[in-house]
């Protein structure tokens, strides 16, 4: 058994790439695998340890790759299997781990499994998906709603039954109560693990099992107008069923057939339910993704409580994790503001646990307003007018000031903001005090200092906009002081145990400054202090 600090997914920094938007190598306006290979030197300079790729499998692209038509292929849009093999070789040679998105809850309606399943009621694969008789009035079997708008049941006239889809009608849900489905997905996992993939991030893992009786979901008493319509009901019976943990335990056993691999679960649940996905005796997901920072009120006390609640809820031996941004949520720089985005970076990279951030967050990319005629996201098309579109956080990476931001020689699939001419990698690399320089400095210190990699988290009492905590290990300690407000704050440093040397400020201008008696923080500033 390895010591915990030697387990790569515990001490590594994870970086999510949305392949369509990272780098286009063949001038078709869409990012691809060769483009990712071309940018590996940038990722090395950034200092990250693991690359998580959103789906690159063959797909009709109804939901941009989250509708998979072949689990063991590469979509020509992204390249060929040989390109993927080259990426694996180049990434591993560069010291990176590679995580693939596994989407086992649903397939494309063009997947051969579903084509067979809908062929007839007595087809051998009929029970691979969730089919149900109509209700007495001929309508859907129950009141379950699609997250992308409307009923989650679509009627198939040829066989006179409904099939279930938690998302688009083009994304029918697999029936995970069928052992044949489980075995088929396990074989998919083994295929990619055999190619050297270092693990999976499992899409909507809490959706995999549905209520066996298909009971109606209860109404949501807290629903507010202006929110997505599927939130009108609580997903009591369509997600987070007790049997899902058996399914995840089986996935974990497949992962454990291979050395040094990781199983990550995408789970949007309250913390007390989230931690159950570690499984009994930690036989579940290694890292059930903790998305609390994506939706919390950005205030010191709110974040302090989330950290405390999460740390208290973790099972013994479980390793925490934190996520700052992803392909489904508005950009962090737009959620908290560009000034606080620096504070957020210091928070993410100094909390106890594995940090994950989203491509472009390290250069402060913001949510881009997409003109109606350029909207690509099916969520926005199905539920327009309330701001649910995800295109704005999926815009092309801003590499330089040339046409299309250095992302492509052709018109990109989504537009770039006008500020890419100034806010781009080349410019920010030349600025020693840029947010990109801050990310590099934070990752460097995280790698260098044992307390940041694996030390305990110890809260320090604070008030107002100030968030204070200590990371400590084996006689070493680092104190993190974050000002989540825009006004200056002074702290009696002796009482708070802050006396020492500043290792890093989010403004990148106070390194080696001594703190003795008082710590003065500017508005929107965070510092790390070696004590």
Compute the distance between CA of residue 134 and CA of residue 179 in angstroms, rounded to an integer.
25
Bridge partners, 501 (sequence order): 514, 530
Other C-beta atoms lying within 10 Å of the C-beta of residue 280: 11
Q: Cα 144 from chain centroid?
A: 25
Residue with tokens 């209860």: 218
Strands (E), 286-399: 287-288, 321-323, 354-358
CA dist 286 and 262 (Å) reads 6
Angle at 45 between CA 40 and CA 51, to 5 degrees: 45
Burial of 382 (0-12, 13-18, 19+ CB in 10 A): middle
How many CB atoms neighbour CB 223 within 10 A? Answer: 15
Catalogue the E-assigned strands of 199-250: 199-202
**Alpha-carbon gap, residue 183 to 180, rounded angstroms:** 5
Distance CA 151, CA 382 (A): 12
Query: How, if at all, do strands 199-202 and 287-288 pair?
Result: unpaired
The single residue of 257, 339, 509, 513 carrying the catalytic annotation is 257
Give the number of other CB atoms < 10 A from CB of residue 151: 19
- CA–CA separation, 123 and 267 (whole Å): 33
**How far is residue 98's CA from residue 15's CA, in Å, rounded to a whole number?**
10
Instruction: Output DSSP code: residue 221.
Output: T
Quick check: is 516 catalytic?
Answer: no
Catalytic residue flag (residue 380): no
CB neighbours of residue 191 within 10 Å: 12
Please pick, among 173, 203, 380, 465, the residue that the annotation labels catalytic.
Answer: 203
Active-site positions?
203, 257
């Amino acid at each position: 058994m390895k010591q915990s600090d030697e387990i790569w997914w515990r001490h590594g920094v994870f970086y999510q790439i949305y392949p369509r938007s990272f780098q286009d190598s063949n001038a078709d306006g869409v990012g691809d695998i060769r483009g990712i290979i071309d940018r590996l030197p940038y990722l090395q300079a950034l200092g990250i340890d693991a690359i998580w790729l959103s789906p690159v499998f063959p797909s009709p692209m109804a939901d941009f790759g989250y509708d998979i038509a072949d689990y063991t292929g590469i979509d020509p849009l992204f390249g060929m299997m040989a390109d993927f093999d080259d990426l694996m070789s180049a990434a591993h040679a560069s010291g990176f781990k590679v995580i693939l998105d596994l989407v086992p809850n649903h397939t494309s309606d063009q997947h051969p499994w579903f084509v067979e399943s809908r062929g007839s009621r007595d087809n051998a694969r009929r029970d691979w998906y969730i089919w149900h008789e109509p209700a007495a009035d001929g309508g859907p079997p129950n009141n379950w709603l699609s997250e992308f708008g409307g009923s989650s049941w679509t009627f198939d006239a040829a066989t006179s039954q409904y099939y279930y889809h938690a998302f688009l009608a083009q994304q029918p849900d697999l029936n995970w109560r069928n052992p044949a489905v489980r075995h088929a997905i396990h074989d998919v996992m083994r295929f990619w693990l055999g190619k050297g993939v270092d693990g999976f991030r499992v899409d909507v893992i809490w959706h995999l099992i549905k209520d066996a009786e298909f009971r109606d979901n209860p109404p949501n008493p807290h629903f507010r107008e202006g929110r997505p319509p599927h939130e009108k009901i609580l997903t009591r019976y369509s997600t987070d069923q007790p049997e899902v943990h058996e399914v995840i335990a089986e996935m974990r056993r497949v992962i454990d057939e291979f050395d040094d691999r990781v199983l990550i679960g995408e789970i949007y649940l309250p913390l007390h339910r989230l931690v159950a996905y570690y499984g009994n005796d930690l036989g579940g997901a290694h890292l059930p993704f903790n998305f609390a920072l994506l939706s919390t009120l950005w205030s010191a006390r709110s974040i302090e409580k989330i950290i405390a609640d999460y740390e208290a809820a973790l099972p013994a031996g479980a390793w925490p994790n934190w996520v700052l941004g992803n392909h489904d949520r508005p950009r962090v720089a737009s959620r908290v503001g560009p000034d606080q985005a620096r504070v957020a970076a210091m928070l993410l990279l100094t909390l106890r646990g594995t940090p994950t951030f989203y491509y472009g967050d390290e250069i402060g990319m913001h949510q881009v307003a997409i003109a109606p005629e350029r909207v690509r996201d099916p969520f926005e098309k199905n539920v327009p007018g309330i701001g649910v579109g995800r295109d704005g956080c999926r815009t092309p990476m801003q590499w330089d000031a040339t046409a299309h931001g250095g992302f492509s020689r052709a018109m990109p699939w989504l537009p770039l903001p006008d500020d890419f001419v100034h806010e781009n990698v080349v410019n920010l690399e030349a600025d020693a005090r840029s947010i990109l320089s801050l990310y590099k400095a934070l990752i460097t210190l995280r790698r260098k200092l044992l307390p940041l990699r694996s030390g305990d988290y110890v809260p320090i009492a604070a008030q107002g906009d100030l968030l204070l905590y200590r990371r400590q290990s084996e006689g070493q300690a680092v104190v993190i002081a974050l000002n989540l407000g825009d006004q200056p704050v002074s702290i009696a440093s002796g009482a708070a145990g802050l006396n020492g040397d500043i290792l890093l400020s989010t403004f990148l201008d106070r390194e080696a400054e001594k703190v003795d008696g008082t710590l003065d923080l500017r508005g929107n500033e965070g510092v790390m202090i070696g004590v």
